[in-house]
Amino acid sequence: MKQIIKQIEELIGYEIPKDNKRPSVELRGVIFKLGKKYTPYITLKQLGEPFGKHHATVLHSLNNIDDWMKFNPNLYKIYDLLMPIFTTEYISENQLEINRLNEIILQLETKLKEYTNEHTKKTS
């Protein structure tokens, strides 16, 4: 999540404020919404940590962001602008997990063949 936030800050040209002013709260709300959608394995606590926010604050944002977006059309633009960062990062993280699981499968297949060969030798 920290890498995603870094990319967002580079895109918008400033560090995302940790204050409770409406623009900051709404921007974090968009980030939490995208974060929850594209990184479902991340807990609410983990989503809020980079901003110094508790899980309850993240949950409040997630419960209200759709209403905020109805009244502030610019939030839709921000959402559309930030979505590629999340989707690219999500795909990258998933590919790393797939690669890791493929390595484990290969290791298990090798061990199974070794076990089968040993068992065949003992029974013959």
User: Which comes out higher in pLDDT, residue 96 or 115?
Assistant: 115
Structure confidence at residue 90 (pLDDT): 60
Q: CA torsion sign, 108 to 114 to 117 to 123?
A: negative
Structure confidence at residue 63 (pLDDT): 97
Per residue in 58-110, pLDDT tens? 999 999 999 999 999 888 888 888 888 777 666 666 666 777 787 888 889 88
Q: How far apart are CA 4 and CA 82, in angstroms?
A: 9
Question: Are 39 and 82 within 8 A, CB to CB?
Answer: no
Query: Beta strands of 16-104 (E only): which ranges?
Result: none
Structure confidence at residue 122 (pLDDT): 75
Q: How far apart are CA 65 and CA 58, in angstroms?
A: 10
* pLDDT value at 119 more than 70: yes
Spacing of C-alpha 69 from chain mean position: 21
Both structure tokens of 60: 């409040």
What architecture is the 2-91 domain classified under in CATH? Orthogonal Bundle (1.10)
- Closest residue by Cα to residue 35 from 60, 84, 1: 1
Spacing of C-alpha 122 from chain mean position: 50
Per residue in 7-55, pLDDT tens? 888 888 888 888 999 999 999 999 999 888 888 778 999 999 999 999 9
